[in-house]
Amino acid sequence: MNGKSKIWAAALLGVALVLGGVSGAALDRALLRDSASAESRDRDRDRDRDRRGRYLDWLAAELDLTEDQRSQVESIIERHREQVSALWRETRPRFEELKQQLRSEIRDLLTEEQLEAYEALLRKSDERRHDKKENDKS
């Protein structure tokens, strides 16, 4: 893979990550919409905007984007945001089910000692994800 291909691969990966984050946040908003206050919705919107901004800053720096290119990339992300959100809403339950199946199969292979370590790793991973989500809210 040449240098240009690596940059494009990194860019596409970054887009996927940002869109995943944006769609996850959109899913959270959709599920909590009825009970969320206007202040909470504003905070979520700001968080999504911050994520997109950080991603755009990163992409602009890595690819040396012009302001026009950056603006176009931002428009592309925004244009596809709702599609990504809808896809995430549709696939998230299947993803969670598959993740649980995978974890169960791994558990079946482990010794008692390994199983304890594995459960600790999973707890740590889940805590980090929860902490990151909480930090994104503030």
8 A C-beta contact, residue 88 and residue 20: yes
In whole angstroms, give the CA distance from residue 28 to residue 21: 11
At 93, give phi and psi (nearest 5°): -60, -40
Q: Is 116 helix (H, G, I), strand (E, B) or coil?
A: helix
pLDDT digits (tens, 9 = 90+) for 16-33: 766 776 666 665 666 555
pLDDT score of 118? 96
Task: Give the type of residue at 68.
Answer: D
8 A C-beta contact, residue 25 and residue 51: yes
pLDDT score of 32? 58
25 versus 105: the higher-pLDDT residue is 105
For residue 102, CA distances in Å to 54, 97, 99 come to 32, 9, 5
pTM above 0.85, yes or no: no
Token code pair at residue 119 = 């459960």
Q: Is 66 helix (H, G, I), strand (E, B) or coil?
A: coil
